[in-house]
Amino acid sequence: MSPTFSSAATIDDALAAMGAGARPVAGGTDLLVGARQGKAPLPDAIVAVDRIAELTGIRDGDATLVMGSLVTHDDLMKDPTVLTRLTALADASAIVGSHATRAQGTIGGNVMNASPAMDTGAPLLCFGTTAVLRSAGAERRLGLDELWTGPGQTSAAPGELMIALEVPLPPAGSGSCYVRLEYRRQMEIAIVGAAAAVTVEGDTVTDVKVAITALTPTIRRVPQAEAALTASAGDDGAVRAAAAAAAAAATPISDVRGSADYRRAMAEVIARRAITGALARARGEHVPVPASSALFGAGQGGAR
Amino acid sequence: MKVAAALTVNGTTYPVVIDPHLSLLRAVREEVGLTGSKEGCDDSECGACMMLLDGRPVNSCSYLALQAEGRDITTVEGLADGEQLSALQAAFLREGGVQCGFCTPGMLISATALIAANPDPTDEEIRISLSGNLCRCTGYDGIVRAVHRAATTPSGALGTVDLPAPAHAGNDATPPHRAG
């Protein structure tokens, strides 16, 4: 079969093409690169979804932020609500690829690509994000822990298009942070990453979410790390215990970007930085976005 | 099967007949015939292929040409206005931001996008923003100086550059002491 290409104007157009076997492409930043690296050949039938107006825009509700699947990383890192209330997602969006990747790459494509090293995954998981999948005549919602089933694999059926992500907005007194270990400032893939989202009431940490990146087959939360920090004063001992628990959940692989031993050793450091950053933001302290650059920048390098 | 499409590059619309899997970079270089944009890594790592798509940067090696139909594509050939270089191009020449030149088309496009988004970037912001563009000569200091100078110089003030004669020209000429 020779390759075919169509451009959908509506969700229904896209679903019709997908029903006939076409694979969707949005920003395209993963599709060609993945094919060239041998992950998967380019699909014979491609339907471009990047001009579907219904899939664009960030809608800011009282309790939930709804992001159309075509929202770009560049959109996210500049959105006032994301910056102030979902700051870990801004941290992550601001360091995806280069400014070319961020201008074209979409949150929908990023999530559906299901890389265990994706930067936005751990923040989205900490925030309790729900994916909205549309198929011909049906729509369903599922958590990202149900969506991601393995490296590059999701539980979505071939005819399902992810149309939006729904992110509950955290209460006042919350803060979040995403940090990754990187060798290069742009076009980098996380060697190790971690996100934390916390809520502080008075001197007590009342709610904690911690997720780890590039350390397990899918990005996952670590309940033991969350338990170690919950109901604590967010003191150094509790932070270290939580970071150690996060690192203990790691089952990393060795690859060109780092050995399993190195990843395991760095997991605790990165988790500690993410938790420390989240606590600082929850307490109203300023930690610049992206936190990775702020924490690794000139004069502040090395383990903290 | 190849399909007919139209690509608008630097304000001119070109009809092309291309394979649906063809990248934007190859379509512009091989079908349109504008070879300023370079293929470095062909893997979105080096930025040599960077173009603007509706004013926003794209690694064209990793973008399907057909997705660009109906959008405004800008390549390095579109930065100058006739013989009048853009301020950024002139600053690259004045600050030694060009060595072998292979990364230059992507650097210029990337820096054009940076200055459009951030008209007065710090050196640190320039370095971070251009980190997706690799210079194999490692001539980053000159590049950063050039971007900084272009951003801080009034529009047009750098636009005219008298190009010096190539330094090696004397090698081919008759040495003066033998001339007579």
ipTM (interface predicted TM): 0.91
Interface probe for B, chosen from A7, A32, A33, A73 (most Cβ of B below 10 Å), is: A32
Q: Is B44 on the interface with A (CB under 8 A)?
A: yes
pLDDT at A12 over 90: yes
Structural domains in chain B, CATH included, are 3-78 (3.10.20.30), 87-152 (1.10.150.120)
The three-state secondary structure class of A141 is: strand
User: How many other C-beta atoms lie within 10 A of the C-beta of residue B180?
Assistant: 5
- Could you tell me the pTM of the whole model? 0.92
- The pLDDT of residue B173: 42
The token duo for A206 is 């009342």
Q: Is B132 on the interface with A (CB under 8 A)?
A: yes
Asked if A29's CB is within 8 angstroms of B20's CB, the reply is no
User: What pLDDT band is residue B157 in, cutting at 50, 70 and 90?
Assistant: low
- The pLDDT of residue A304: 35
pLDDT in tens, A117-167: 999 999 999 999 999 999 998 999 999 999 999 999 999 999 999 999 999
Q: How far apart are CA A49 and CA A134, in angstroms?
A: 13
How high is the mean pLDDT of chain B?
89
Tell me the average pLDDT across B145-161. Answer: 78
Tell me the average pLDDT across B11-30. Answer: 97
pLDDT at B144 over 90: yes
Tell me the average pLDDT across A236-254. Answer: 97
Interface probe for B, chosen from A4, A5, A25 (most Cβ of B below 10 Å), is: A5
pLDDT in tens, B88-129: 999 999 999 999 999 999 999 999 999 999 999 999 999 999
Per-residue H/E/C for A199-229: EEECCEEEEEEEEEECCCCCCEECHHHHHHH
Tell me the average pLDDT across B11-17. Answer: 98
Upper half-sphere CA count for residue B21 (Cβ side, 13 Å): 15
- Phi, psi of B30, deg, nearest 5: -95, -30
Rg (CA), chain B: 18
Q: How far apart are CA A44 and CA A5, in angstroms?
A: 8
- The pLDDT of residue B170: 43
- The pLDDT of residue B151: 92
pLDDT in tens, A47-60: 999 999 999 999 99
Q: Is B75 on the interface with A (CB under 8 A)?
A: no
In percent, the amount of chain A with pLDDT more than 90 equals 86
Q: How far apart are CA B139 and CA B165, in angstroms?
A: 22
- The pLDDT of residue A184: 84
User: What pLDDT band is residue A296 in, cutting at 50, 70 and 90?
Assistant: low
Asked if B43's CB is within 8 angstroms of A185's CB, the reply is no
Inter-chain contacts counted by CB atoms under 8 A, chains A and B: 100
Question: Mean pLDDT lowest for which of A4-8, A197-201, A255-259?
Answer: A255-259
- Cβ–Cβ under 8 Å, residues A190 and A213: yes
A174-295: CATH architecture: 2-Layer Sandwich (3.30)
pLDDT at B175 over 80: no
Q: How far apart are CA A246 and CA A268, in angstroms?
A: 7
Upper half-sphere CA count for residue A186 (Cβ side, 13 Å): 21
Tell me the average pLDDT across B25-43. Answer: 96
- The pLDDT of residue B56: 97
Distances (CA, A) of A31 to A105, A110, B154: 11, 11, 41
